[in-house]
Amino acid sequence: MTKDAIVLGAGIVGVSTAIHLQRRGRQVVLVDRREPGRETSFGNAGLIQREGVVPYGFPQQFGLLLRYALNNRVDAHYHLRALPSQIAFLARYWWNSNTKRHQMISRAYAPLIEHSVSEHNDLIEASHAEELIRKNGWLELYRSNEKRDAEFAEAERLNREFGIGYEALSSAEIAAAEPHLRGGFSGALRWLDPWSVLDPHGLISAYRRYFESIGGRVTTGDAVSLGLSGSAWRMVTAEGSIEAEDVVVALGPWADLVTKRFGYAFPLGVKRGYHMHYAVEGNAVLNNWAADAERGYLLAPMSRGIRLTTGAEFARRDAPKTPVQLDRAEALARAAFPLGERLDPEPWMGARPCTPDMMPIIGKAPRHNGLWFAFGHAHHGLTLGPVTGRVLAELITGEKPFIDISAYGPGRFAP
């Protein structure tokens, strides 16, 4: 089989890239080892985070670092045996999170986030997936007055500098909006611009069906079979050998399985995360996505039930599950909302692909023609999938990307 382009990885970034290439007249095959949207893209919090212009940084305060070292928190957990192999990544992550560099990174990151909702909207309408979307923002809840006041001030800064919309809610306003929440929250931010997704896997499946409806092909295959055949790229799939002029690596936390084979040693780390779905007790209703900001978990009213998501686990990508954060979060969440029984047979676990400067890797491989990268989106994979797909497809087809993507280029790590 001969195609114009192969896209490796059928998560939200890969599916979106395949759509945008197919729209531009390229014949595209989308390849994954599993059904589209079954890996990292399956388990997120279901938020298209238009407000997320400030990427998640590494804590800088010494006292907070000491508390994390105790390894008993919900928002972060680590495997002690994994730390030696991750120390170089974590050191660079910490350095990039200092105030000055973090502000510079946020300004470079903002153009991607700015177009996150509008680019999703394009694909949502094209794939007729409107019933999966809610457009009433989400809630970030605070327990202490100190945290509340600091976050209210930060929201005002984000509004002033980046046009992010928000409402500051009092305890009484929280109770009116979410009458079944309990736990003594002192205030909340309602972020107005983000959209939420009732079923992230359902959304990616809708995008996949749209891709096929415009002529795209989906198959299974092993990305490590990729190799050069003259000037073309060739790999083995369930439908036989495929050749293409261009290949896009959109493999998320597994990108290194391909990139290292061609001499690219990106400093890609992972933050693992867990989720579980719950029934509710009685007639309890959670009206909106709600994060307990000081405890480090989020509750999302999804199609399958209330999804409880955890923070970050620093561990080897393929190490066995250790869902201790989920157990800790569940105890706290039950005190805040009347959760019922667990609905999943076991906790889901995924791995977020992260770079030490908190920005994705998007662009052409420095030393290979026809090899393109799109991974490293950390906590914002769902948010940034469609905008990433558009700018990379524009680059591949010779168009000028509609935003400046120079800050995300692979060359910053692999000259």
- SS (HEC) of 128-180: CCHHHEECCCEEEEECCHHHHHHHHHHHHHHHHHHCCCEEEEEHHHHHHHCCC
Tens digit of pLDDT for each residue in 169-178? 999 999 999 9
Tens digit of pLDDT for each residue in 91-133? 999 999 999 999 999 999 999 999 999 999 999 999 999 999 9
For residues 122 and 132, what is the distance between their CA atoms, to the nearest angstrom?
Answer: 14
CA torsion sign for 35, 40, 43, 47 is negative
What CATH code would you report for 1-60+98-133+194-268+355-414?
A: 3.50.50.60
Tens digit of pLDDT for each residue in 134-166? 999 999 999 999 999 999 999 999 999 999 999
User: Starting from the edge strand earliest in sequence, which strands make up the sheet with 133-134, in order?
Assistant: 47-48, 195-197, 133-134
Q: How far separated are the first and last CA of the chain, in Å rounded?
A: 33
Q: How would residue 282 be classed by pLDDT, with cut points 50, 70 and 90?
A: very high
For residues 75 and 131, what is the distance between their CA atoms, to the nearest angstrom?
Answer: 31
Angle at 319 between CA 277 and CA 321, to 5 degrees: 25
Distance of CA 239 to the CA centre of its chain: 30
Structure tokens at 42: 């399956």
All residues at 6 or more sequence positions from 196 whose CB lies less than 8 Å from its CB, including other chains: 46, 47, 48, 133, 134, 136, 137, 138, 288, 289, 300
31 within 8 A of 220, measured Cβ to Cβ: yes
All residues at 6 or more sequence positions from 120 whose CB lies less than 8 Å from its CB, including other chains: 48, 195, 385, 386
Tens digit of pLDDT for each residue in 237-255? 999 999 999 999 999 999 9
Q: Is 336 helix (H, G, I), strand (E, B) or coil?
A: helix
54 within 8 A of 155, measured Cβ to Cβ: no
Q: How would residue 64 be classed by pLDDT, with cut points 50, 70 and 90?
A: confident
Structure tokens at 84: 């030696």
All residues at 6 or more sequence positions from 365 whose CB lies less than 8 Å from its CB, including other chains: 262, 264, 371, 372, 373, 410, 414
Average pLDDT over residues 359-372: 97
Structure tokens at 198: 């009732």
Structure tokens at 186: 């002192």
Q: Domain residue spans in the chain?
A: 1-60+98-133+194-268+355-414, 138-192
**DSSP H or E run through 340:** strand 339-342
**What is the residue-averaged pLDDT of the chain?**
96
Closest CA to 37 of 381, 274, 373: 381
